[in-house]
Copies of this chain bind each other. A is one copy, B any other.
Amino acid sequence: MASKNQVFIAIIGAGGVGKCFIGQLTELAKRRPSPRLSLCYVATSKKALFHNDYAEVPTADVVAAVAASSRAPPALSELAEYLAKAPAKVVLVDNTSSQDVADSYPLFLSRGVSIVTPNKKAFSGSFSLWRDIFAASATSGAKVFHEASCGAGLPIISTIKDLVDTGDEVTRIEGVLSGTMSFLFNSFAPLNGAGGKWSAEVAKAKELGYTEPDPRDDLNGLDVARKLTVLGRLAGLEIESPTSFPVQSLIPKALESVASGDEFMQRLPEFDSEMEEIKAAAEREGKVVRFVGSIDVGAKQVKVGLEKFDRSHPIAALKGSDNIISFYTKRYGANPLIIQGAGAGGEVTAMGVTSDLLKVLAQIS
């Protein structure tokens, strides 16, 4: 039976981030006995593990247990019904990148189920979904936190919220928001002037697991556009969608419609000279080229693409696959508030989710 000092946790998604989150949740439950965190639901896209009487699902080996479950996941509307009727408060942890799950956030929230998630789709989809999510939260009192939707565990979402909520005015946001793009340009056009051919760097990044299986899913810039959409909206802009502003794709036109990622990789070297020319143009100005997103809040301008930076600029000095973001605000003046560090990876992304969970728990329990 549920006690007053108990919170139910429901998890959708048990991939890279999901597994790390389950590990962090297990440790968290050991360290903090109150409130008791009872896992009541775990699902992948194919299987689900839960009990109709909300009996606790043990976290040990739960990923294997879900895979072995005989139950298919219920429809999201049924899941909302199940969680709404739980005998204690519920936090839904959405560790997927599913648009379907994101589309159901207003439903979950309106039924009193709080949400923590790294899923960008909910906050970078249509503006009406954004509005519905926060309206449902305001009405029911259920919380929704999404730190890891931008920059993984880096305190980016919480910082822009604090700036805005305390009455500061964010005037400009600029940053490298894709770990993949960061790695590619830090290798292709490093400060020391070396760097390999563009297609070779993409191949290396793919090999190291820094790109999506089809690298075009990174090179199209949409991931950065989604993150900028989230940040721009938090800064007060009504951005209709991540395709409603200019996004420069690094996929050569001729390769946009080739059948497979493999064919794309095979033909990419044909376009090395184009990228080489872009790099050389920057070097002639004493600069380096980077793939950045920027928002001019006053001018309501959002854009994603290649830009040149002085070699002394923090963006030029970035290392590895780190993200960096600069918030220019009225209070901070000429020198922005800057946050930098790993913006991808299972553990640091799960950390963003876990810290959100702790914030929700502090508010609802």
Q: A153-B331, A312-B191, A332-B348 are in contact. Are A28 and B338 (CB under 8 A)?
A: no
Is B337 a contact of A340 with CB atoms below 8 Å?
Answer: yes
Q: Verify if A31 is at the interface (C-beta below 8 Å from B).
A: yes
Copies of this chain: 2
Q: Verify if A58 is at the interface (C-beta below 8 Å from B).
A: no
Q: Verify if A168 is at the interface (C-beta below 8 Å from B).
A: yes
Q: Verify if A237 is at the interface (C-beta below 8 Å from B).
A: no
Q: B residues within 8 A CB of A155?
A: 155, 158-159, 162, 339
Report the separation of the CA atoms of residues A166 and B168 in the bound assembly, to the nearest whole angstrom.
29
Q: B residues within 8 A CB of A342?
A: 332-333, 335, 337
Q: Verify if A347 is at the interface (C-beta below 8 Å from B).
A: yes
Is A335 a contact of B341 with CB atoms below 8 Å?
Answer: yes
Report the separation of the CA atoms of residues A31 and B340 in the bound assembly, to the nearest whole angstrom.
31
Report the separation of the CA atoms of residues A355 and B168 in the bound assembly, to the nearest whole angstrom.
11
Report the separation of the CA atoms of residues A322 and B320 in the bound assembly, to the nearest whole angstrom.
24
Q: Verify if A207 is at the interface (C-beta below 8 Å from B).
A: no
Q: B residues within 8 A CB of A351?
A: 162-163, 166, 168, 331
- A320-360, CB < 8 A from B: 320, 322, 331-342, 345, 347-348, 351, 354-355, 358
Q: B residues within 8 A CB of A168?
A: 351
Report the separation of the CA atoms of residues A341 and B320 in the bound assembly, to the nearest whole angstrom.
22
- A116-151, CB < 8 A from B: none
Q: A332-B348, A348-B331 are in contact. Are A354 and B314 (CB under 8 A)?
A: no
Is A167 a contact of B28 with CB atoms below 8 Å?
Answer: yes
Is B354 a contact of A167 with CB atoms below 8 Å?
Answer: yes
Please name 17 pairs of A and B residues whose Cβ atoms are closer than 8 Å in the assembled complex, sorted by A: A24-B166, A27-B167, A155-B158, A158-B158, A165-B358, A166-B354, A166-B355, A166-B358, A314-B317, A320-B334, A332-B342, A332-B348, A333-B342, A337-B339, A338-B339, A338-B341, A362-B363
A-B complex: 4 closest residue pairs judged by Cβ atoms: A337-B341, A162-B355, A338-B340, A166-B354
